[in-house]
Chain A
Amino acid sequence: MRNLIWLAVIIAVLVVGTGAGVLFGSGTWTPKLALDLQGGTQIVLTPKVNDTTVTEEQLKQAVAIIRQRIDASGVSEAEINTQGSSNVVVSIPGTPDKETVARIEASAKLDFRPVLATSGPTNEVANADGTTSTADPANIDPNLPSTPLVQPSNGSDMNWVTPALAAQYQAFSCASEDVQSASTAPVDLPLITCDPSNTVKYLLGPVEVDGSDISDASAGIITTQTGASTGQWAVDIVFDPAGTKKFADTTTRLVGLTGAQNQFAIVLDGLVISAPSTQSAITNGKPQISGGFTQTSAKTLADQLKYGALPIGFQVQSSDTISATLGAAQLLSGLLAGAIGLALVIIYSLIQYRALGFVTILSLVVAAVITYFTVTILSAQEGFRLSLSGVAGLIVAIGITADSFIVYFERIRDELREGRGLESAVDSGWRRAIRTIIVSDSVNFLAALVLFILAIGNVRGFALTLGLTTIVDLVVVALFTHPMLQLLARSRFFASGHRLSGLGHMSLNAVYQGRGRFQVTKSPGVKETKLKSASREAARRQTIAERKAALDAADRGES
């Protein structure tokens, strides 16, 4: 009974959870459907203009990285592929928000550069007489020397700032289009750029460490030295050994410098997202990037850094809704086929297990209810989408779920054949069946877990369905089917071995004559069967003797 109450609690929690999602969040009463069934949005990404030469290899790499980024945000069953020779098409179910598009499109090229100089965002120059004038980029004297007179010894060396560069820096305005090209600047030369809000202009040295040296990144809340939380979000980076070495060397050098040169610029896609001053050398290879992050933006950047920068910068060329590729006809037919299949299963169960068949059907209904609400909650919370293959997977799960009941029922029959009373047969049959069910379900669950962790793309969605149905199977057989049978075993209908109960004496050799008393009838092919004692133990021995005799008979008859 306690089990049934637990089951009621689980179902109630699922229903209330779904309801709460509908009332207070973005949840719905039905699971969200995947691209093939519902359609979604097709985003065509095209390389930014200055990346005219895109190789096939780069494009493939971009697709792989975008897929990992999308996977990291949930199980969405997105489709990503190349189109023509330079475009990437991302199809996402539903309507993606701005965050999602940004997550996909940003190149996430991260560089660490030393700061050489900073100033206001404009190209206004203060003249000696107190007035201001605007330095025009077009007016830079082309004859100014643009190669350093002395070869700079390190990234912070002011010899990088040639007269030509100084003039360019002065003439640079954050409002100009030049900021756009900063993301593809050469890594071994200084860079002029701004912060994302265009309030500070930077002159930076060459790249000291770049994103490819990052081995892991995660979002976290900044804590003070005493461990208190500041509530501000940051991205924690872990460098690989090479990156750690380079980063330690650079920070060691910067500590000794003063002014702007003490600062370290963290450049994301050409813009300085943060330029902290260097208080001490960081030698453990684990810097933290702060800079006005929200929880979402910190998580997004961490994911982007973890899976690497896109080899090329992309921009959205078009974003359109697309309809489902499988017409409504396919889904309807699938559901119709599922219904026909279920009806057949019901008929078969009733023929095979008579009244016990109803227990199977009820158990399947309970399993269906739990699965439905879990899928709905997963789809609201984790972005899980149900595709047609997912629906087919759930239909196959009927077989695996029903198998637990079949294993259990057959075990009970075995116990009855051994001469046990019904109540005791249910209990000992259960003890043996649940072992089998647990080990076989564990194997399935292991498959689901490994695939979910290691695989990418659609395979993860499948893994989730498999894992889910496996757990539901265990829950239902333990919390519903078994307690139901315990209850039924006490009823007259089953205990008397009614011939429609599915456990009746017609289908089992032992004629049940009331609590603990049996008479075993002769089975065909057995010559000697005499049951002297009515005790359970004797009945058991007799059946084994029967079995031996029968085996001998069978051997002789056929060989």
Chain B
Amino acid sequence: MATMGQFGNDLYSGARSFRFVERRRWWYLISIALVLISILGPLARGGFQIDKAFNLGIEFTGGSEFTVSNVPDTNQQIASDAVATVDSQLVPKISIVGSNSIRVQTQQMTNEQTDAVSVALATGYGVPDTNVTSSFIGATWGADITTQALRALIVFLVLAGIVLALYFRTWKMSLVAIIALIHDVIITAGIYGITGFEVTPGAVIGLLTILGYSLYDTVVVFDKIRENTTGQTRDASLTFGQQVNLGINQTLVRSLNTAVVAALPVAAILFIGAFVLGAGTLRDISLALLVGIVVGTYSTIFLAAPLYAGMRMREPAIKKNDTRLRELQEKARERADA
């Protein structure tokens, strides 16, 4: 693909340039719209109750547990079919306990459903009704895990903000990197609320992975922008916005390549998980990851970098310099035209 190399060359030299910074208000609008949809979508589904807005897995909510003892055949498919006869939307967690018992865990059911599943399980395995017991089980991902994880996240965000502010020598880069991160997490979480995909611990872990990816992606592009706007490689004839825009364009091939390379394996998992296996852990994890990778790449280019440029361009010193440069550029253009 010589064209991709040529594309990279043109982006590098500035011969071809996408106006990410100039049109930033459009990108802001798109991001605001996406964030609003991601918040309002789940709200429309279930209001302010988190367990209604999201389809939380039994790891978070607890649920019903059935134990079928002394089964002649430990085929797990029978249990899966039995649950499906009562509610085909339920995805049960089935395991064999000991040598001849089956444990089936599902989301919380009504009393009628519980009875129906018990009967279906007994019939399916060909055992008397008395061999099936049911009970309520609590969450394995309890409030204590969530609290600790949130606490850790806040500590991380504060530390990361400080580290980035020190490295880039401006708190503004650090702030917009964190804004982009929150943007990505809200949109990724929103997809779950809107599609109703089950939120499992796997999905939460996926969301955490995205958090890392999003920040990582932003840092890589910001490092090039920092190089363009400060130091020796700085081109003094460009306005601040142009310098930032050049940085985004120069790293665009890298951004695309990284996003594709990261997304390909995840897309493969999502495809196999969703279309070959149907619902399950793989689908739940890979959805978060795929959406997060796409949104994370998008937000770096279209949100974080333009936002940074916008913030810095308001600084009086930069504003003054930019006005001067724009006049010079205008004159040079007129000369060239003449």
Contact = CB atoms under 8 A, between A and B. Distances in A.
Interface of A: 36, 39, 42, 59-60, 63-64, 67, 79-85, 89, 320-327, 329-330, 333-334, 336-338, 340-342, 344-345, 348-349, 351-352, 388-389, 392-393, 395-396, 398-400, 402-403, 406-407, 410, 413-414, 417, 432, 435-436, 439-444, 446-448, 450-451, 453-459, 462, 466, 499, 506-509, 523-526, 543-544, 546-548, 550-556, 558
Interface string B255-287: 001101111111111011100110011100110
Given A326-B280, A454-B148, A552 B258 contact: no
A440 B219 CA distance: 6
Interface residues of B, number: 103
Contact of A392 (B4, B246, B285): B285
Given A81-B62, A459-B152, A436 B223 contact: yes
A388 B272 contact: no
Given A344-B264, A450-B159, A462-B205, A399 B138 contact: no
B12, B246, B276: most-surrounded residue (chain A CB, <10 A): B12
A388 B285 contact: yes
A352 B7 CA distance: 12
Contacts of B268: 337-338, 340-341, 344
B257 A551 contact: no
Interface stretch (B34-42, B82-90, B91-99, B189-197): B91-99
B13 A341 contact: no
Nearest to A432: B227
Given A389-B202, A417-B12, A551 B156 contact: no
Given A399-B265, A435-B223, 11 more contacts: A325-B95, A392-B286, A413-B12, A444-B215, A447-B212, A451-B208, A466-B209, A507-B6, A546-B15, A548-B237, A551-B246
Nearest to A505: B5
Interface in B6-21: 6, 8-10, 12-17, 19
A82 B281 CA distance: 22
Contact of B135 (A83, A526, A554): A83
B159 to A, nearest CB: 6
A322 B258 contact: no
B254 A392 contact: no
B142 interface: yes
Contact of A402 (B151, B208, B215, B261): B261
B155 interface: yes
A89 B137 CA distance: 9
A341 B263 CA distance: 9
25 contacts: A39-B95, A64-B144, A81-B62, A81-B138, A81-B139, A84-B136, A326-B280, A330-B280, A337-B268, A341-B265, A341-B266, A344-B265, A389-B206, A392-B269, A400-B216, A402-B258, A407-B220, A413-B12, A447-B211, A451-B152, A455-B145, A458-B145, A462-B209, A466-B212, A524-B10
Contacts of B246: 547, 551
Contact of A554 (B15, B96, B254, B286): B15
Nearest to A520: B13
A488 B248 CA distance: 29
A79 B140 CA distance: 6
Contacts of A79: 140
Given A444-B212, A462-B209, A402 B262 contact: yes
Contacts of B261: 345, 348-349, 398-399, 402-403, 406
A333 B286 CA distance: 13
Contacts of A451: 149, 152-153, 156, 208
Interface in B284-338: 285-286, 289, 293, 329, 332-333, 336
B289 A396 contact: yes
A440 B141 contact: no
A446 B235 contact: no
A241 B54 CA distance: 45
A325 B14 contact: no
Interface string B144-183: 1100110111011001100110010000000000000000
A2 B82 CA distance: 63
B46 interface: no
Contacts of A459: 145, 148-149, 152, 205, 208
B5 to A, nearest CB: 2
A392 B149 contact: no
A554 B155 CA distance: 45
A450 B269 contact: no
A443 B164 contact: yes
Given A447-B156, A456-B148, A395 B265 contact: yes
B282 A399 contact: no
Contacts of B269: 334, 337-338, 341, 392, 395
A398 B254 contact: no
Contact of A457 (B5, B93, B145, B276): B145
A320 B9 CA distance: 64
B177 to A, nearest CB: 9
A295 B43 CA distance: 54
